[in-house]
Chains A and B, each alone.
Chain A
Amino acid sequence: MAENVVELTDANFAAEVEQAEGVCLVDFWAEWCPPCRMVGPIIEELAGEYAGKVKVGKVDCDPNRETAGKFGITAIPSLIIFKGGEVAKRFIGVTAKDSLKAALDEALA
């Protein structure tokens, strides 16, 4: 996992995201999903650009089915922006970096 990107699991998701006060961007992905590989580099870039402002994490849906199930993940990549532990915005499929930046800026405003 790249620098600045938190590996999220069923065990740490509540503490890292749901109980976090600020803005989090979570990438729900899986090894078997080719478009997730396309989104991966964007998430890593955003983690660098928003370091200190947004917590960026990734959930591998295969071993972490409880968390994926809790957020109704049935299509990946799913990108969810959390604000104060609540879902603020969801994106499904390969999403342009600019759209994610706009949503993150809105959540931070």
Chain B
Amino acid sequence: MSNPKTYDVVIVGAAAAGLAAGIYAGRDRYKTAILEKDPFPGGQIMLTAHIANFPGHERITGPDLIQKMRNQAEGFGAEILVGQAVTGLRRGDDGVLEVEVESTGSSYRARAVILAPGSQYRQLGVPGETELRQAGRVSYCAVCDGPFYRDKHVLVVGGGNTAVEDAIYLATQFACRVTLIHRRREFRAQRILVEELYETAKTGTLDVKLPYVPKAIVADDTGAAIDHVVLENVETSETESLAVDGVFILVGTVPNTEFLRGTVDMDDRGYIACDPQTLQTSVPGVFVAGDCRAGAAMQLATACADGVLAALQAKEYLRNPQAWTETRAERTPVQGY
């Protein structure tokens, strides 16, 4: 890794938080690189068909919004480098941070780093999930795979915005029947969505079963399709089986922070610890933004806000790095709010 390029700010992750940080850092005329592990920027929000709660946009698709943010970041001079899965972060002898990408043999020197690696869908970990995912009968993305379930019966698992929104989407667009189960009696999703859910249920294409969890996804004799799913009532522990064609697992996300283990402090679930006022991590000059940080609100608007705050704080750090290393390093990072 000879003569790595030096940047003022290296941002890890080109999804909402990373692009927002790139817009601000680039506009401040800092030499900025945004490293993205996937071949395409955007991350989780790319999977959202219609965003209705991003202030200023009554309705926009995830891919369209990402394209606009990408244009803005690049327009202000930030370089977006795709296919760069960061494997290491360390401080060199001269105090400059080094961001390493093993697979491409690249290394980037950075005076400040903003970590915005985001999160990815959470798996349930029930028997049959992996095998039937391989068979294409378990999905984590209703936008991608919903159209394959025209006139079929599908099970949706989850209680947040995505699960409720996508259960409605599947029931009204494709499936002849949708069963939505959630482990609690109350949904975590926004009220407006829950109201719409029960309105849709009146049409007879959607059943809501509470409080249920899936215990196993059972394949048919061919192994290529689902025979039934075993459901358990959380309160009575009674089980029942439900024959479905597909299962959509929409139970939230896990942070993409494994590559940073041992580098920055994290909580026991892998969310990066930070000072909520500055978003600085346990390493001076390294900031965190978006879904991967402890205390994140897991919303598009707050991911963008994090990116902006991290870029502004990185600017303060770049103006006077010594002040941060002396005074803030001794402070214990606050985990979440």
Assess the A92–B136 pair: CB atoms within 8 A. yes
A39 to B149, CA, bound (A): 22
Q: Contacts of B38 on A, CB cut-off 8 Å?
A: 38, 94
Is A33 an interface position by the 8 A CB rule?
yes
Nearest residue in A to B42 (C-beta to C-beta)? A34
- Interface-side segment among A5-13, A14-22, A49-57, A72-80: A72-80
Q: How big is chain B's contact interface, by range? A: 20 to 34
Q: With A39-B39, A41-B39 given, is the CB distance from A34 to B136 under 8 Å?
A: no
Assess the B137–A38 pair: CB atoms within 8 A. no
Q: Contacts of B138 on A, CB cut-off 8 Å?
A: 75
Q: With A37-B40, A37-B63, A38-B39 given, is the CB distance from A72 to B136 under 8 Å?
A: yes
A98 to B49, CA, bound (A): 29
Assess the A34–B224 pair: CB atoms within 8 A. no
Is A36 an interface position by the 8 A CB rule?
yes
Assess the A75–B145 pair: CB atoms within 8 A. yes
Is B134 an interface position by the 8 A CB rule?
yes
Q: Quick one: which of A32, A37, A75 has the most chain B CB within 10 A?
A: A75
What's the nearest-Cβ distance from chain A to residue B124, in Å? 16
Q: Contacts of A38 on B, CB cut-off 8 Å?
A: 38-40, 42, 46
Nearest residue in B to A98 (C-beta to C-beta)? B103
Q: With A75-B139, A90-B134 given, is the CB distance from A33 to B144 under 8 Å?
A: yes
Is B148 an interface position by the 8 A CB rule?
yes
Q: Contacts of B334 on A, CB cut-off 8 Å?
A: none
A41 to B272, CA, bound (A): 31
A56 to B46, CA, bound (A): 26
Q: Contacts of B145 on A, CB cut-off 8 Å?
A: 33, 74-76
A90 to B63, CA, bound (A): 27
Query: For chain A residues 56-71, which have a beta carbon within 8 Å of chain B?
Result: 61-62, 68
Main secondary structure of the interface of B (DSSP, over half): mixed
Q: Within the complex, which residue of B46, B47, B143, B148 is in contact with A74, where a contact is CB–CB below 8 Å? A: B148
Assess the A41–B40 pair: CB atoms within 8 A. yes
Q: With A41-B39, A72-B224 given, is the CB distance from A35 to B136 under 8 Å?
A: no
Assess the B135–A72 pair: CB atoms within 8 A. yes
Assess the B40–A75 pair: CB atoms within 8 A. no
Query: For chain A residues 83-106, which have a beta carbon within 8 Å of chain B?
Result: 90, 92, 94, 97-98
Assess the A73–B136 pair: CB atoms within 8 A. yes
Assess the A30–B147 pair: CB atoms within 8 A. yes
Assess the B63–A34 pair: CB atoms within 8 A. yes
What's the nearest-Cβ distance from chain A to residue B220, in Å? 12
What's the nearest-Cβ distance from chain A to residue B169, in Å? 12
Q: Within the complex, which residue of A32, A40, A41 is in contact with B144, where a contact is CB–CB below 8 Å? A: A32
Q: Contacts of A68 on B, CB cut-off 8 Å?
A: 148
Is B26 an interface position by the 8 A CB rule?
no
Is B133 an interface position by the 8 A CB rule?
yes
Is A42 an interface position by the 8 A CB rule?
yes
Nearest residue in B to A72 (C-beta to C-beta)? B224
Q: With A78-B136, A98-B103 given, is the CB distance from A35 to B39 under 8 Å?
A: no
Q: Contacts of B225 on A, CB cut-off 8 Å?
A: 72
What is A's interface to B at a CB cutoff of 8 Å?
Answer: 30, 32-42, 61-62, 68, 72-76, 78, 90, 92, 94, 97-98
Further contacts, 10 of them, CB under 8 A, given A39-B39, A73-B136, A75-B148: A34-B46, A34-B63, A34-B144, A36-B144, A38-B46, A61-B147, A61-B148, A74-B136, A75-B133, A75-B136
What is B's interface to A at a CB cutoff of 8 Å?
Answer: 38-40, 42, 46-47, 49, 62-63, 82-83, 103, 133-139, 141, 143-145, 147-149, 224-225, 246
Give 9 A-B contacts (CB < 8 Å), ordered by A residue: A34-B63, A37-B40, A38-B38, A42-B39, A74-B136, A74-B145, A76-B144, A76-B145, A98-B103
